[in-house]
Structure 1
């Protein structure tokens, strides 16, 4: 199937383009970007021109920042195209609900992707936790914003999510592997005095079984990056490391260990191919709901200004 990639920035170049190139399901037929392009692929700067001139491209993958994504997704869906959304699927929950309603009205597929759910050991962690009594659950997600989002000021603007841009990856894993639904009970958001979105956050959650569930997100990590989850149960301790690429049970590695985003984006594109063939929609918004609750309930603390 032919697909167009919209927004040729770092994540598109690092993950989307290689995943499409390696897939038997897809052919990258065109791109839309103000500055970026992919060698050998038709490049557009105007999205409406692409939609008008290339009706044979039935699938659109959006890699834009969250705020402009709704406008592009709406135009694509109204044109009868299937749409794949980078995370988060929109700037607000209402936008996402509107997109799903439009996709259903148009009879096309819509996919809110959560790449961290496709990390190598997430499925195994879900299986291991099933049926166990949880005592505590701790998420530690700390990375260097300068390394992963160099000069991207939009991430600290309204709708950019700040530290929840990576933090929502952790929440996508949490909402996939925990047997019981949780919800936010308290939060502290650390907001630089010259920015609109938090650079760090401390979260606490209500668990129906009384387990102690918490998360720490920080965009100021230097040196080694930390993407870890620890679940302590009555039957042992399970740890996920490297964003779900590695799993340990009572300190013993579970299966082969991977690093980085190994296999995540290829699996997303395989999922999208299956949705298009089946005429399906996958718009699970549970990770985004926790972020919205944090902005609603969180106590804000002003911290030192931040510059790239």
Structure 2
């Protein structure tokens, strides 16, 4: 493709302003022409209350990036795909695994690109880690993903509601990384979910996975942690230990710090989206969301103290 793709954003909240808008502005392949949000506006473009109004009023629109909470993602994506627009889904791609599969079929039917984006997979250390682990014998994996919910989701009630995922909203970033870097598929064996007495979704979770070889994979997620975030993955192999930290922005292998370059997660996402549109293809991997669904299904629930924002 040589022309810019006319794109709109739905859901103009913190993640859109902090990441998506700058990434689009800096990408030569996209031109932002519209935004859809009930409570916010984007300067310099046409603004609408919802996706349906944006689609009806913008005939030149070619693609839509959906940044609203996952509970409304399906209806927005369906409307865009039925209108023949390419769609990028912020993580998680939907409120359920099945609805994303329905969207993938709809995208194929309408000859549109559907991109279920996982921004943490685009952290600079992830593909370097994946390449190093290929062919290695892994003996253990330990994931610690801990942060302060009040810092990252201040006043956001949707995260506590069904479909909002609770602590799995950040935890799914860790799952997106390990599903990318580990050479073998893995599955959940057991889980503990720690749920505030006044909330629906967990504020913390401990997960124990295994692969077909019996490799132990442990993940601990916690939203009661601070003041500094702890986003790290340690993979022990027979050839040394891989340590991925800062959400994938720092990599150490067998004690030696690796030169992995600078962080550009969201610009890389839009590189990928543009590539998919250009080649007429889609990228819809739901494995991180499937692991969350399994945790909700298999996890034992423990009530903890009430959470007040």
Equivalent residue pairs, number: 305
Name structure 1 gaps, 5 residues minimum.
none
The normalised TM-score by structure 2 is 0.97
Q: Is 2:124–2:260's contact at 8 Å kept on the other side of the alignment? A: no
Partner of 1:249: 253
Write the distance in 1 (CA, Å) between the matches of 2:233 and 2:53. Answer: 45
Partner of 1:167: 171
Which sits farther off after the overlay, 27-36 or 8-17?
27-36
Deviation at 1:222, TM superposition (A): 1.5
Partner of 2:282: 281
Deviation at 1:256, TM superposition (A): 4.7
Runs of 4+ in 1 over 6 A off after TM superposition: none
Name structure 2 gaps, 5 residues minimum.
none
Alignment of 1:2 onto 2:3: no
Write the distance in 2 (CA, Å) between the matches of 1:144 and 1:49. Answer: 36
Partner of 1:119: 123
Deviation at 1:46, TM superposition (A): 3.1
Describe the SS at the equivalent of 1:173.
Answer: helix
Partner of 1:182: 186
Partner of 1:70: 74
Q: Of residues 219, 226, 247 in structure 2, which corresponds to 1:222?
A: 226
Write the distance in 1 (CA, Å) between the matches of 2:260 and 2:108. Answer: 40
Partner of 1:205: 209
Write the distance in 2 (CA, Å) between the matches of 1:173 and 1:46. Answer: 32
Deviation at 1:25, TM superposition (A): 0.8
Write the distance in 2 (CA, Å) between the matches of 1:104 and 1:111. Answer: 12
Write the distance in 2 (CA, Å) between the matches of 1:93 and 1:53. Answer: 31
Alignment of 1:49 onto 2:50: no
Partner of 1:303: 304
Describe the SS at the equivalent of 1:227.
Answer: strand
The normalised TM-score by structure 1 is 0.97
Q: Is 1:246–1:257's contact at 8 Å kept on the other side of the alignment? A: no
Q: Of residues 130, 135, 138 in structure 2, which corresponds to 1:134?
A: 138
Alignment of 1:270 onto 2:271: yes
